[in-house]
Amino acid sequence: MHDIRTLEFSNGSLQLIDQRKLPLSRELYICSTYEEVEFAIRDMVVRGAPAIGATAAYGVYLAAAAYQEFPHEAFFSKLREACHVLIKARPTAVNLRWAVRRMLALAESSSALTPPQIAERLLAEAKAIQQEDVDTNRRMGSHGNTLIPPKANILTHCNTGTLATAGWGTALGVVRSAVEAGKEVFIYADETRPRLQGGRLTAWELVQEGIPAKLIADSTAAFLMQQGKIDLIVVGADRIASNGDTSNKIGTYMLSVLAKEHGVPFYVVAPVSTIDYEIECGGESPIEERSREELSHVGTCQIAPDGIEVYNPAFDITPHSYISAIVTEYGVARPPFTQSLATFQS
C-alpha cells in the first residue's frame, strides 16, 4: 500500500517529491547542490520537521562532495559555511539543526581523513539518518497505537505523514499503525491554512491508501468536538522544549485548547530529535513569520484585497499543560514531561 518516496538519493543527486505541486501533480524536484537543498527547504518543496532533517543531511553531503578537491582547511571552512546556510533555511524546526550538527560532528571527528573520504562517510551518514527516521517512525507508530481504541474518530492537523518524514509519518504514522493493526479508524483532516498541508498533502496520502477520512475547514474542529465526534487528536511537532511545551504548525495550540474544553485526549507524536533539551519552555522557541502571499493568494488565485496587511506566523506554542501525552520512538511520555522526557535524553 505504501509507495510514496518523499526523498531518495540516487546518481549523485537528491530527488524530492515537490510538495508545492501536490495534490494536482506528482513531480520530482532534483537537488544536485547544497544551495538547491537549501532552497527546497526554504521554499517548502519539502516540509515536515523529520523530512527537513533528512533532506538537510544530504545537503551537507552535497556541499562536501562539491568542495572535496579543496585543501583540507578550505574544505572545512566551506563545509561549515554550508551547514550554517542550511540551518538558517527554516528557523523553527529543531530536526534541521540536529541533523546538520550530526553531519558536521561526523566530519570533524573524521578530520584525519581526506576530504573525499569524509564526503563518502557523510553520504553514508545521511543515508543512515534517512533510514533511522523510517525506523523511528515505525516505533512511534507502535507506541502510539497503544493509545488508539479499536474504533476511533481521529482529528489530525497539518501533514505528519510519509511526506513529512523519510517515510510512514509521525502523527499520521500512528494512524497508519492503527490501520495496520486492523483498527477501525476514521480521520478528520483539517485543511491547515494558510498552506493547506492538510487539504493538499494529508488528504492526498489518505486517498492514496484508502483510509476513510473527511476534510474539514480548520474552524470546524470545535463544532465536531462539541458534537462528540472526535475521540482523540494527534499532531506532530517542530520543536519540543524540555518541559513539553510544543512548537508546531499554527493552529495546534487552538486544537489543544478545544481538546481540553471538550475532554478530548491531545497527543503529540515526534521523534526524540525534536526535543530541544537546551530550552526549558516554549517561550524560548523562535516563531517564523511567513509571507503575505500565503494569505492573500491560493495558487494563482488572489483572495484578499490589495492593501490589506496580514499577520502570518507559521507556528504556535502549545503549553505542556494542554498535552495528554508525547509519543516518541522510546515510548509514551506522560506529564510531568520535564521528568518523563528527560529519561529519553541520550
Q: Which residue has the cell 490501520?
A: 179
User: Which positions from 259 through 298 interact with its own copies, judged by CB under 8 A?
Assistant: 260-261, 295-296, 298
Q: d(Cα 175, Cα 152) in Å, to the nearest integer?
A: 10
Q: State the burial class of residue 287 (Cβ atoms within 10 Å of its Cβ: 0-12, 13-18, 19+).
A: middle
Backbone dihedral angles phi then psi of residue 143, each to the nearest 5 degrees: -65, -45
Residue 12, SS3? coil
Distance CA 178, CA 151 (A): 10
Q: How far is the CB of 207 from its own copies (least distance, A)?
A: 4
| Cβ proximity to its own copies, 55 vs 312, nearer residue | 312
Does residue 234 bind its own copies (CB under 8 A)?
no
Q: Does 1 bind its own copies (CB under 8 A)?
A: no
Closest contact distance (angstroms) between CB of 196 and its own copies is 5
Q: Does 188 engage in binding with its own copies (CB under 8 A)?
A: yes
**Cα of 187 vs its chain's centroid, Å:** 19
Q: Which residues are catalytic?
A: 238
Query: What is d(CA 91, CA 123) in angstroms, rounded to the nearest whole number?
Result: 24
Q: Among 4, 113, 128, 257, which residue interacts with its own copies (rule: CB under 8 A)?
A: 257
| CB-nearer residue toward its own copies: 113 or 310 | 310
Going by the DSSP 8-state scheme, the letter that residue 45 receives in this structure is S
**Are the beta carbons of 51 and 163 closer than 8 angstroms?**
yes
Q: Binding residue for its own copies (CB under 8 A) from 75, 76, 204, 266?
A: 204
Applying CB under 8 A, which of residues 303, 343, 345, 346 lies at the interface with its own copies? 303
Q: Which of 52, 213, 241, 268 is close enough to bind its own copies by CB under 8 A?
A: 213
Q: Which of 194, 236, 244, 271 binds its own copies (CB under 8 A)?
A: 194
Q: Which of 208, 215, 209 is nearest to 180 (CA)?
A: 209
Q: What is the distance between the alpha carbons of residues 194 and 169, in angstroms, rounded to a whole number?
A: 21
| 23 is a site residue for its own copies (CB under 8 A) | yes
Residues that contact its own copies, how many (by CB under 8 A):
57
* Alpha-carbon gap, residue 343 to 21, rounded angstroms: 41
Residues that bind its own copies (CB under 8 A): 22-24, 188-189, 191-194, 196, 199-200, 203-204, 206-207, 213-224, 226, 250-251, 253-254, 257-258, 260-261, 295-296, 298-313, 316-317
